[in-house]
Structure 1
Amino acid sequence: MKLAMIIPPYRYGADPTQWITVPPQGYGGIQWVAATLIDGLLEAGCEVLLVGAPGSPARSGLNVSASLEPGDIRAAIDDFNPAVVHDHSNTAALPPEGPWPVVSTHHLNGVPERRENGIYVSAAQRRNAGSFTAPVIRLPVNPERCLFQEEKDDYLLFMGRVSAHKGAYEAAAFAHAAGLPLKVAGPSWEPEYLERLLADYPHTADYIGEVGGRARTELIARARAILVLSQTWGGPFGGPWVEPGATVVSEAAASGTPVIASSNGCLPEIVPGVGTVLPSTAEITPTAATEILDGLPTAQEVLKTAVDRWGHLKIAQEYLTVYERAARGERWM
């Protein structure tokens, strides 16, 4: 099957002269999802046109469109003649309706711009969008893009946007209670928030900024646990934040790193089996933090669970089933 994959065109924060590529140079959850899904689709024998991420490496079966001009995007898709267009951009880079069917994976909160033939990454996200029948397909992980390490170093990790809704401050509080250092990796676009975190936990939190490539996979693999303590407030779009998919959960698990999560959004759906979910009212004392860390599953257990649930070949087959529905002319909301 020939597929066009549309990614939101974002500039790379560490070097704004570049676009975020697939896979991303550093922070880029949607770009990681696309890279991993493309891995599975190529292994399934598909041919893919990638749009919205100029500078991404092409390879056998994967073509990359170099232009972001709307007319050029439309021309590239028309020339490629896909069976289905798969939009990950919430219509930001999707051309006007063409002769090809479109499916759209929603990666954000709230109601997507385009609801027809929508796909959601969790049941919580789907409910938040007001849909009840559209497909839910989890975020994929390719263990070959991860580094599995059974022996862990004695630090905890926060990886993601350093913002209130992602729970970086709560991660520092947990690490402080546990008596362990916290490495904070990700972009910071709200300097006051980061300053408060570092001021309140100066001997716990170590901000290392965006991390990419081998350094990123090693950082995840060596952590004793990753903290995904998303909060319901402070989101970038207003209104309550409902964690939609949490790419870092599957990445960490495929690296043998267990997850300590809040009960926000998708996390109670995906974390059991690869870690533990904390009630929103949980008081994290030193004793509680120690008990939580001691009760986490082993590296081998979380790796097996990650591959069984979210392996890129499994998720690619789930998408192919949905693509075939769209190619037959089916419509859903």
Structure 2
Amino acid sequence: MVVPPYRYGADPTQWITVPPQGYGGIQWVVATLMDGLLEAGCEILLLGAPGSPVQDGVTVSPAVKTTDIHVAIEAFAPDVVHDHSNAAALPPGGLRPTVSTHHLNGVPEGQINGVYLSRAQRIAAGSESAPVIRLPVNASRYPFQEAKDDYLLFLGRVSAHKGVRESAAFARAADLPLTVAGPAWEKDYLDALLADFPHTVRYVGEVGGSARTRLIARARAQLVLSQPWGGPFSGRWVEPGATVVSEAAASGTPVIASDNGCLPEIVPGVGTVLPVGQEITPRDAERVLGSLPTAQAVREAAVDRWSHHTIARQYLAVYKRAVSGEVWT
């Protein structure tokens, strides 16, 4: 299991672990998938996340450089390599069967034996037949709370393509506070957000651990108003998989999302979808909030669709295809 080796922003002497200390979408995906694979009896070598918690069945490698990762893989001799780094950490021309999950926008570095998180992401990458496997969620990691508090939540990178301003505008129309939690690497964007929505937005920074899961579980709704512009890699931003949707749903927290990328595929049943660019009036906000499914229905849908057991079985089937020598694009 190969993840991109990134330094932890709050303490650059550490690497982002699996699961992550705070923000780390790919690391959460890998942690949850590993839950399912371990319960299925797999043994796992984890690369790109030194310092990750020790657990039975997992060997955590200190390797972060490509050459060291290659040596570690060959020493472990796995049946299959699962790359989550978009080929950034994996040496080219590896000797082992490899499956690559694409977590980003656009065309991946290597399209051989790729897996996509949504049909929208697969289309944007130019593939027609590669497997689509949704992001997993382990409900036992998320506390369920049926009675919600009166605040809305934005969880993620504080950037234009993630729709933080649109979330603040919705919250203001709903006359509810918006808690914004996540890294803010673009200071000008954050400063403008706080200046324009001083009585709506409460920015709490990057939140991890139980504080993070409580924040998700208590929110009246989670806002995922992704925008098709302003992304970090230029060009159109197509929301690829949206970990925050499954996390919120597992907590019984409904989702209010835009219709960008994967969101129209995954949000119906756990929330509602709004067109990008729609101006939200107080009446609109009241209608949307009143139409959201119950906490119990949302959690049941999350477990039914995206359980780590279900997603692990889907990946095991794909691993077997790769091990048998099958190649797809």
- The answer to whether the aligner puts 1:225 opposite 2:231 as a matched pair is no
For residue 6 of structure 1, give the secondary structure of its aligned residue in structure 2.
coil
Q: Is 1:15 matched up with 2:8?
A: no
In structure 1, the partner of 2:52 is 56
Give the drift of 1:79. 1.2
Q: CA RMSD in A?
A: 0.7
1:121 aligns with 2:117: yes
2:252 corresponds in structure 1 to 256
Determine if contact 2:5/2:89 at 8 Å carries over to the other structure. Answer: yes
**Among residues 134, 137, 141, which one is paired with 1:145 in the alignment?**
141
How far is 1:282 from its partner? 2.3
Determine if the alignment matches structure 1 residue 46 to structure 2 residue 42.
yes
From 177, 184, 189, the counterpart of 1:193: 189
SS at match of 1:192: helix
- The whole-number CA distance in structure 1 between the counterparts of 2:105 and 2:276 is 20
2:242 maps to a residue whose letter is A
Residue 58 of structure 1 deviates from its aligned partner by 2.0
In structure 2, how many angstroms separate the alpha carbons of the residues matched to 1:243 and 1:31?
17
Which AA in structure 2 matches 1:119? V
- Give the TM-score normalised by the residue count of structure 1: 0.98
Within the candidate set 82, 87, 90, 1:91 is matched to 87
Q: Is 1:247 aligned to 2:218, yes or no?
A: no
Q: Which residue of 2 aligns with 1:6?
A: 2
1:317 to 305, 313, 316: 313
Structure 2 Cα separation of the partners of residues 283 and 188 of structure 1: 25
Cα contact 2:45–2:61 (8 A) shared by 1: yes
1:70 deviates by 2.7
SS in 1 for 2:315: helix
Post-superposition CA distance 1:134-166 (Å, at most 9, x none): 000000000011111111000000000000000
Structure 1 residue 309 displacement after superposition:
0.4
Give 1:72 shift. Answer: 2.2
- Percent of matched pairs sharing the same residue: 72
The unaligned stretches of length 5 or more in structure 1 are none
* Paired residue total: 329
Q: What is the distance in 2 between the residues matched to 1:308 and 1:132?
A: 26
> Which one of the candidate residues 60, 64, 67 is aligned to 1:68?
64
* Structure 2 unaligned residues grouped into runs of 5+: none
Give a deviation string over 1:286-332, Cα, whole Å, max 9, x none. Answer: 11101100110000000000000000000000000000000000000
**Local SS of the residue matching 1:249:** helix
Rounded to whole Å, the distance in 2 between the matches of 1:158 and 1:65 is 34
Q: Distance in 1 between matches of 2:67 and 2:258?
A: 44
1:283 aligns with one of 265, 279, 282: 279
Residue 158 of structure 1 aligns with an amino acid whose one-letter code is: F
Q: Distance in 2 between matches of 1:69 and 1:84?
A: 20
CA separation in 2, counterparts of 1:160 and 1:213?
15
CA distance in 1, matches of 2:44, 2:50: 14
Change (3 A) 1:283 1:70: closer
Query: Conserved in 1, the CA contact under 8 Å of 2:184 and 2:190?
Result: yes
2:31 corresponds to? 35
Q: Give the AA of the match of 1:246.
A: A
Distance (whole Å) between structure 1 residues aligned to residue 258 and residue 59 of structure 2:
39
Once the two structures are superposed, residues 6-62 of structure 1 have per-residue CA deviations (whole angstroms, 9 ceiling, x without a partner) of 000111111111110000000000000000000000000011100000000121111
Tell me the distance in 2 between the aligned counterparts of 1:103 and 1:315.
Answer: 15
Instruction: Give the residue type in structure 2 aligned to 1:174.
Output: F
